């Protein structure tokens, strides 16, 4: 009797999670194994069958693993990313020789085409569509994505590899991402760079609060300067003066600043209780967050109005609208120039002098379009750049004093803040353990988002961007301790997630981050910059920018000019800290907060 009862009980109990017996493995969606290599596309047939579409991958065979002859040859000759990174970052004298020659143009064209070709264009998938579809193409409220989501009927969150449950995001952040002591970036990156990065990228990273993760409010999908002009026509009109093409502004202490929300009714995101006459109104709603963002917002506002004066002097017949629109195109061009020749130049550490010249691509096939990818958004969470406190003048400000501070910009003025931010070192982004406690929650959010959107594993992204998948956590981190802990938590290197992989990868020697951030980030970045319509043969000519004068403003733009054309006295301005004078210690905040 007892035995019978027990048997009954056993029958009624839910079955234990099936150990992968041959049949149950066969019942799994075969695409969960990510069988198709080299960009082959997995299509499920029946229940247990799949086919890899290897069209134009340069490979064939069931899993697109057999190279065609030319593919094989190219692979055999192609240097590894680590190799050419070494070459590009060493031998200054050699690169100074190259600088003045046609070889510079040749290499720059190579960099642009090889990188940009890694990005599918037109875009392919999004977080709701893991196959090509008209909806994914046409509905631009989605961020696109380069790799489709992990199918939602897979045995594990990463497909078939790793544990059934991923490690707790809070635990990952505390254990591997939280800063214990500030690690400064060995490339000498400063806070001005960090705020530029944040300011620049927040024109196209505007994850929609209402629609949820995977959706964006920045429908321009690129460098449209929506952070200066607003992401809708309605907001743009609130910010415009409708005189001489200019933007609204106010003059305080004899200097031009953004207008207030009180005046413009262009709402900003501030904590409750900040009165509207203290809120500065700019294109991007969140830029009240940091004085560093408001500094750049102010600089671009002044630049816009300055360019309007230049245009108006040459075109007294032009109406407000044409002055505004032409100034906007000039500022877009200036931005791209500064991002390539100052910002990316610094970040890359390359001795090859990068060149912004759209004509480099006029002889090759290139699509002038861009769509912002969710992977690019994830990857750009560079919060380790932020220090533990902010040094301005002879004072040190805590996060509590700095974040949402409405008076600092006006108290110090643009010059002093640019000078201060240019002198203070930023944190190293890669290598882990370098995010200040105040912003650790943002990193947790990134990991949560990647799970909600079912991002594929770090190693799948490595492969997609032409890198070898890591074989072990030791190989990833270059050490033992964190590696074995990660192995314990994830169970398998092929189950490691995208963002933790990017941040925990060992850095390149004396560099700000590891190989994957460069090899995955650069394609998105360069495609977004050169894919802008102003770089197309139809637009890239003097008339687009109001004549040679405007065209020249674009072609000679620099960070230094952006600042110094718009302040009274030119401060120290660069994306790196000044070289310390002999015997002097570089300035760094003393205390940890």
Ligand X SMILES: *[C@@H]1O[C@H](CO)[C@@H](O)[C@H](O)[C@H]1NC(C)=O
Q: How far is the CB of 318 from ligand X (least distance, A)?
A: 30
Is residue 380 involved in binding ligand HEM (CB under 6 A)? yes
Complex with ligand X: residue 169 or 214, whichever CB lies closer: 214
- Cβ proximity of 390 and 424 under 8 Å: yes
Residue 89 contacts which entry, ligand X, ligand HEM, none (Cβ below 5-8 A, type-dependent): none
Complex with ligand X: residue 272 or 583, whichever CB lies closer: 272
DSSP conformation letters of 515-555: HHHHHHHHHHHHHHHHTSGGGSTTT-SGGGGTSHHHHHHHH
Q: How far is the CB of 395 from ligand X (least distance, A)?
A: 7
Residues 6+ away with beta carbon under 8 Å from 543: none
Residue 578 contacts which entry, ligand HEM, ligand X, none (Cβ below 5-8 A, type-dependent): none
Calculate helix-pair angle for 548-555, 291-314, nearest 10 degrees.
Answer: 150
Residues 114-173 touching ligand HEM, rule: CB under 6 A, are none
Complex with ligand X: residue 408 or 502, whichever CB lies closer: 408
Q: How far is the CB of 215 from ligand X (least distance, A)?
A: 7
| Interacting residue with ligand HEM among 147, 194, 301, 372 (CB under 6 A) | 194
Sign of CA dihedral 484, 486, 489, 494: negative
User: Which residues make beta-bridge pairs with 392?
Assistant: 395
Is residue 386 involved in binding ligand HEM (CB under 6 A)? yes
Helices (H) and strands (E) in the chain, counts: 26, 10
Pair of tokens at residue 458: 């770090």
Catalytic residue among 142, 229, 257, 380: 380
- Give the residues lining the site for ligand X (CB under 6 A): 33, 35, 62-63, 65, 96, 99-100, 139, 141, 267, 353, 401, 405, 407-408, 411-412
Let me know if 461 is a catalytic residue. no
Choices 201-209, 226-234, 508-516, 517-525; region in contact with ligand HEM by CB under 6 A: 201-209
Output phi, psi for 59, to 5 deg.
Answer: -130, 160
Spatial separation of the C-alpha atoms in residues 526 and 513, rounded to whole Å: 18
Q: How far is the CB of 325 from ligand X (least distance, A)?
A: 23
Q: How far is the CB of 128 from ligand X (least distance, A)?
A: 7
Complex with ligand X: residue 184 or 371, whichever CB lies closer: 371
- Cβ of 305: how many Cβ atoms within 10 Å? 19
| Interacting residue with ligand HEM among 240, 337, 381, 463 (CB under 6 A) | 381
Q: How far is the CB of 24 from ligand X (least distance, A)?
A: 16
Number of residues that bind ligand HEM (CB under 6 A): 20
Let me know if 202 is a catalytic residue. yes
Spatial separation of the C-alpha atoms in residues 334 and 557, rounded to whole Å: 5
Spatial separation of the C-alpha atoms in residues 373 and 126, rounded to whole Å: 8
SS (H, E, C) 425-473: ECECCCCCCCECHHHHHHHHHHHHHHHHCCCCCHHHHHHHCCCCCCCCH
Is residue 205 involved in binding ligand HEM (CB under 6 A)? yes
Complex with ligand HEM: residue 336 or 379, whichever CB lies closer: 379
Residue 35 contacts which entry, ligand HEM, ligand X, none (Cβ below 5-8 A, type-dependent): ligand X
Name the 3-class secondary structure at 576.
strand
Name the residues annotated as catalytic.
202, 380
- Residues in contact with ligand HEM by CB under 6 A are 194, 197-198, 201, 205-207, 289-290, 377, 380-383, 385-386, 403, 439, 442, 445
């Amino acid at each position: 009797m007892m035995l019978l009862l027990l048997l009954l009980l056993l029958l009624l109990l839910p079955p234990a999670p099936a150990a992968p017996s041959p049949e149950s493995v066969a019942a799994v969606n075969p695409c969960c194994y990510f069988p198709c290599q080299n960009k082959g596309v997995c299509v499920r047939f029946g229940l247990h069958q799949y086919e890899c579409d290897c069209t134009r991958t340069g490979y064939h065979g069931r899993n697109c693993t057999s190279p065609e002859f030319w593919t094989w040859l190219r692979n055999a000759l192609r240097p590894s990313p680590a190799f050419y990174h070494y070459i590009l970052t060493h031998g200054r004298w050699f690169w100074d020789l190259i600088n003045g020659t046609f070889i510079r143009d040749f290499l720059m064209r190579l960099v642009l085409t090889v990188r940009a070709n890694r990005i599918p264009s037109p875009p392919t998938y999004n977080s709701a569509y893991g196959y090509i579809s008209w909806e994914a193409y046409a509905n631009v409220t989605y961020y696109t994505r380069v790799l489709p989501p992990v199918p939602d009927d897979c045995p594990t969150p990463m497909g078939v590899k790793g544990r059934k449950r991923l490690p707790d995001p809070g635990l990952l952040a505390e254990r591997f991402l939280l800063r214990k002591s500030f690690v400064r970036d060995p490339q000498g990156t400063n806070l001005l760079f960090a705020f530029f990065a944040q300011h620049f990228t927040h024109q196209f990273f505007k994850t929609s609060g209402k629609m949820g993760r995977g959706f964006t409010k920045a429908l321009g999908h690129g460098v449209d300067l929506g952070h200066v002009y607003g992401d809708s026509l309605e907001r743009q009109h609130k910010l415009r003066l409708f005189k001489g093409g200019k933007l609204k502004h106010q003059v305080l202490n004899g200097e031009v600043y953004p207008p207030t929300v009180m005046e413009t009714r262009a709402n900003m995101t501030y904590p409750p209780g900040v009165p509207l006459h203290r809120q500065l109104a700019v294109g991007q709603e969140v830029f009240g967050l940091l004085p560093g963002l408001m500094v750049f917002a102010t600089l671009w506002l002044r630049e816009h109005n300055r360019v309007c004066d230049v245009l108006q002097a040459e075109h007294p017949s032009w109406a407000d609208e044409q002055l505004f629109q032409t100034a906007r195109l000039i500022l877009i061009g200036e931005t791209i120039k500064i991002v390539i020749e100052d910002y990316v130049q610094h970040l890359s550490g390359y001795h090859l002098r990068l060149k912004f010249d759209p004509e480099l691509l006029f002889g090759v096939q290139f699509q002038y379009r861009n769509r912002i990818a969710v992977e690019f958004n994830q990857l750009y969470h560079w919060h380790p750049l932020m220090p533990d406190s902010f040094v301005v003048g002879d004072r040190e400000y805590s996060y509590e004093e700095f974040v949402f501070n409405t008076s600092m910009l006006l108290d110090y003025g643009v010059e002093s803040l640019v000078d201060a931010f240019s002198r203070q070192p930023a944190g190293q982004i890669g290598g882990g353990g370098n995010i200040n406690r105040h912003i650790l929650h943002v990193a947790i959010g990134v990991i949560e988002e990647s799970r909600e959107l079912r991002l594929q594993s770090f190693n799948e992204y490595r492969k997609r961007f032409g890198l070898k998948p890591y074989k072990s956590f030791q190989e990833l981190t270059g050490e033992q301790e964190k590696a074995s802990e990660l192995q314990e938590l994830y169970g398998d290197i092929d189950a490691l997630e995208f963002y933790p992989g990017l941040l925990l990868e060992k850095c390149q020697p004396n560099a700000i981050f590891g190989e994957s951030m460069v090899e995955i980030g650069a394609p998105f970045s360069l495609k977004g910059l050169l894919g802008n319509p102003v770089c197309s043969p139809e637009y890239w000519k003097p008339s687009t920018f109001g004549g040679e004068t405007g065209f020249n403003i674009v072609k000679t733009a620099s960070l230094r000019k952006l600042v110094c054309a718009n302040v009274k006295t030119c401060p120290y301005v660069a994306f790196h800290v000044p070289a310390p004078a002999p015997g002097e210690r570089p300035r760094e905040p003393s205390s940890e907060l």
